[in-house]
Structure 1
Amino acid sequence: MRERRYEMPVDLAALLGPHQHGGYDPTWRRTGDGAFWMTKRTPDGPGTLRLTRHGGQAWGAGASWLLDSLPGLVGADDDLSGFTVHHEVLKGLAVPRIGRSGLVFEALVPAVLEQKVVGREAWRAWRYLLRKYGTQPLAPHPRA
């Protein structure tokens, strides 16, 4: 296991929500302690990532890659110097962050599915593809 911390507090639910594809996405879990668990196929191999508000731990062949890309995933690499809020409703809110996984295939396939068929059917197809062609998550990925 490797670990990495980041300085800025992060609203993980808002930031990571777009990376989940349906309530039963097998690559994504939120546990009772507020942690988010994700399994990903990185350029270095599969890995499991556990994120909390202030850092993350990773396991597997892709652990180093996952932790090296962690600032991008939590929006810490965002350049906010040219960002100005113009709408009154948004002015009192925290500066939005947009996380990026750096993994094109895992973003592209669900996006195509979600554009071609109704949401629940797209999510079902995503689960089917992962279960048929994916690899098992690396321990200690939680079951629920």
Structure 2
Amino acid sequence: MSRRLTLPERYAFGPSLASLQAPNGDPCVRVSAGDLWMAARTPAGPGTLHLALSGGEIEATAYGPGEAWLTERADAIAGLRDDVTGFPALAKAHPLVHRLARTFAGLRMPATGLVFHRVLRAILEQKVTGVEAFRAYRKICRKFGEPAPGPVDLLLPPDPAAIAASPYWVFHPLGVEQRRTQSLLRAAREAGRIERCAGPAEATRRLTALPGIGPWTAAEVVRVAYGDPDAVSVGDYHVPNTVAWALAGEARGTDERMLELLEPFRGHRGRVCDLLAHGGIGAPRFGPRMPIRSFAGY
């Protein structure tokens, strides 16, 4: 199945969809400057979505039992349901945000409608370096994934039922310690209820009710699964410092200070954090970096 999508002016395909792909070789998603291939476990069954940029349009083509669901949702996945109408006025509250909003006016936030795949990534990214998290993600996808429908070599994201049925020791050689594994197993057991949430508020409530999932993990999930532009990753290692440095010239910031500085942008606070990241804004670094470990060797 396929459909053509008309694009807003200055739409930035690759940067808008980059968050859908885990760095360093995602087995389930591939994003380039003009193409997205994404394997998914949809409510209608497994499927693969291809978005191809062509002039001022995107051609969306889907494969497999989930093709109708993916085709219907293709505009949301591309970020074309992202409503930025009121943001330019809010951005004027700070000169840097105003400049970044104009520079990256083509950015849109995707909304996949697929929750558990993002929960998997977010839990694996808890309290570890990106290198550790993405390495474990690739190993889990390769162990639990299945070939996706369509003409490209992708794996379907792990079936939450297969995750839930696995004992802890299966994940240790994949680089995930007991704490994160237990959080992942709990989320997998509740995946059906989580996937049926009507919006980001309900999803946040259900997710944070699970032991081992806090505001940071929930925000990382709803920002992509629902395209929530206000989701702020409270508890992040870097973001409070980045926001404090960018908006107030303070080298270090707490979660409370971050939220205070972002308050003028309420409704788009997560979007402001994304703009700072796209703009390469970062606070000065002091002290050693977090070490890269391998739990599989413990």
* SS of residue paired to 1:102: coil
CA distance in 2 between counterparts of 1:50 and 1:20 reads 14
Query: Mean alpha-carbon deviation: is it higher for 72-81 or for 20-29?
Result: 72-81
Paired residues for 1:4-23 under 5 Å = 4-8=3-7, 10-23=11-24
Structure 2 residue 70 is the aligned partner of structure 1 residue 59: no
Structure 1 unmatched ranges of 5 or more: none
Contact persistence 1:12–1:52 (CA under 8 A): no
CA distance in 2 between counterparts of 1:131 and 1:55 reads 29
Query: Mean alpha-carbon deviation: is it higher for 36-45 or for 5-14?
Result: 5-14
Q: Which TM-score applies when normalising by structure 2? A: 0.44
Q: Structure 2: which amino acid aligns with 1:62?
A: G
Q: How many percent identity over aligned positions? A: 38
Contact persistence 1:3–1:55 (CA under 8 A): yes
* SS of residue paired to 1:90: helix
Change in 2 beyond 3 A, CA 1:30/1:96: closer
Q: Alpha-carbon deviation of 1:36?
A: 1.8
Residue by residue over 1:54-93, the C-alpha shift from the partner in whole angstroms, topping out at 9 and shown as x without a partner, is: 1211100111111111121112212233222323422532
1:104 is matched with: 115
* SS of residue paired to 1:122: helix
Q: Alpha-carbon deviation of 1:18?
A: 0.7
* SS of residue paired to 2:25: coil
Contact persistence 2:49–2:70 (CA under 8 A): yes
CA distance in 2 between counterparts of 1:74 and 1:100 reads 8
Change in 2 beyond 3 A, CA 1:11/1:38: same
1:92 is matched with: 102
Paired residues for 1:76-91 under 5 Å = 76-84=80-88, 85-86=91-92, 87-91=97-101
More strand by share: 1
* SS of residue paired to 2:15: helix
Structure 2 residue 78 is the aligned partner of structure 1 residue 74: yes
2:144 is matched with: 133
2:126 is matched with: 115
Q: Alpha-carbon deviation of 1:29?
A: 2.1
Q: Structure 2: which amino acid aligns with 1:136?
A: P
Larger radius of gyration: 2
Contact persistence 2:50–2:61 (CA under 8 A): yes
2:275 is matched with: none
* SS of residue paired to 1:36: strand
Q: Alpha-carbon deviation of 1:96?
A: 3.0
Q: Alpha-carbon deviation of 1:113?
A: 0.7
CA distance in 1 between counterparts of 2:27 and 2:149 reads 12
- Work out which structure has the larger RCO, using CA pairs closer than 8 Å and 6 or more positions apart in sequence: 1
* SS of residue paired to 1:75: coil
Structure 2 unmatched ranges of 5 or more: 155-298
- RMSD value over aligned CA atoms? 2.0
More helix by share: 2
Query: Mean alpha-carbon deviation: is it higher for 5-14 or for 61-70?
Result: 5-14
